[in-house]
Structure 1
Amino acid sequence: MTVVTTPVLVSDGIANPAPLGLCAFGMTTVLLNIHNAGFFELNSMILAMGLFYGGLAQVIAGIIEAKKNNTFGLTAFTSYGFFWLSLVGLILLPKWGLAEKTSEGAMCAYLGIWGLFTLFLFFGTLRLNRALQFVFGSLVILFGLLVAGDATGNKAITHLAGYEGIICGASAIYTGIANVLNEVYGKTVLPIGPVAK
């Protein structure tokens, strides 16, 4: 008697959280940088996005990445989620009388350490797809421009950072949506570049 074996696909039963994290990061980044580019004031829309989508949604995505045993995703999404929450805190705590307003020098240190952290994560993307390499590479540039804008007080640099940040955020949105559509259709609908070997 011949026994026929059929391979069984084992799934962890957990959806891919990366599109949520990427879209949360990207949409919040685009909106903040439309402000940095000088199109509208810093307002409640940006703060709410920073708290609930850029902040909370990314932390949730990072926790799910931990369940999927993805250390890079855990580190990136939870860290940038808390970046958004801390950025909103930097804005609101002085308004509530709970802390002094952040000086330009302190803001440079804050943005600079996040830029350095992002640079280190960028090296991790060299083993991932080209779209993520672009997201993290452009984010390193964004932090650098924001530091330069705050350090010099030159609004033209901050406005340039805003335009560059719109590109960075849009690339994250693209990468997140590409992940969703490619999974839904079971083929490459939106290319994200080959995974590095």
Structure 2
Amino acid sequence: MNQTQTTQKIQITTADPSALGLFGLAMVTLVASSQKLGLTDGVSFVLPWAIFLGGFAQLFAAIQDAKHNNTFGTTAFGAFALFWFGVGTSWLINLGVFGESAAANVDTKQLGVAFIGYLIFSVYMTIGAMETHKVLFIIFVLIDFLFIGLALSSLGVAPEATHMLAAISEFGIAIMSFYGSAASVLNVHFGKPVIPVGKPFGIFK
């Protein structure tokens, strides 16, 4: 007796989460850069944006990108979501939320080492961004400079100059991420490229 097996694939269509992920990145870097640039003081009111926009918004985008089988987007948004959760927790420790003992044992050089790790990650993601579009590539280049500035300032290397490098880079990330988010929303909404993002470099593909 012959049996015929039929395999059916069900495809679930979900919206591209890039617009939300980039908006989350834009908001958190805008608020955080205002503190680094000296326009605002302290990190207490940076924390909500780090947790909800930097963390949860990008984590949601990562999960949705996974449904699109987008390894690059999943990894990028997921890694940066966890970065902001980590940074937010570090600020909470420094503020004494987890007790005076934890705050007293803070060593900012450990943050510097973490920033070096994220710089390594950002560099190879920058190579991947070259084959996505030029706006994303520019965002990643600015992220590279952000982590260079953060790492060096945390390690005490020319702290004023490298802190300012981080501040300017972070503000640039905010502006470019707002642009990228707007393009992701409006180009899909209108069904045509009303906001140009630039073609991939075409070096590796």
TM-score by length of 2: 0.85
Q: Which residue of 2 aligns with 1:30?
A: 30
**Identity level (%):** 28
Which one of the candidate residues 96, 101, 120 is aligned to 1:116? Answer: 120
How many corresponding residue pairs? 188
Q: Which residue of 1 aligns with 2:102?
A: 99
1:38-187 aligned at under 5 Å gives the runs 38-94=38-94, 95-96=96-97, 97=99, 99-100=102-103, 101-151=105-155, 152=157, 154-187=159-192
Q: How far is 1:11 from its partner?
A: 7.3
Q: How far is 1:93 from its partner?
A: 2.5
Q: How far is 1:104 from its partner?
A: 2.7
8 A contact 1:33–1:162 mirrored in 2: yes
Q: Which residue of 2 aligns with 1:6?
A: none
Q: How far is 1:38 from its partner?
A: 1.3
Q: Deviations over 1:104-149 (max 9, x none)?
A: 3112101111111111111111211001100011100111012222
Q: How far is 1:155 from its partner?
A: 2.4
Q: How far is 1:184 from its partner?
A: 0.9
Q: Deviations over 1:63-107 (max 9, x none)?
A: 000011100011011110111011000111341217345323112
8 A contact 2:145–2:165 mirrored in 1: no
Taking the aligned partners of 1:140 and 1:111, their CA distance within structure 2 comes to 10
| Bigger shift: residues 34-43 or 115-124 | 34-43
Cα RMSD after superposing both structures? 1.8
In the alignment, structure 2 segments of 5+ residues that lack a partner are 1-9
Query: Cα gap change, 1:84/1:118 in structure 2, threshold over 3 Å: closer, same or farther?
Result: same
8 A contact 1:131–1:192 mirrored in 2: yes
| Bigger shift: residues 160-169 or 111-120 | 160-169
Q: Which has the higher contact order (CA 8 A, sep 6+)?
A: 1
Letter of the 2:55 counterpart: G
Taking the aligned partners of 1:34 and 1:149, their CA distance within structure 2 comes to 17
TM-score by length of 1: 0.89
1:187 match: secondary structure: coil
Taking the aligned partners of 2:11 and 2:183, their CA distance within structure 1 comes to 21
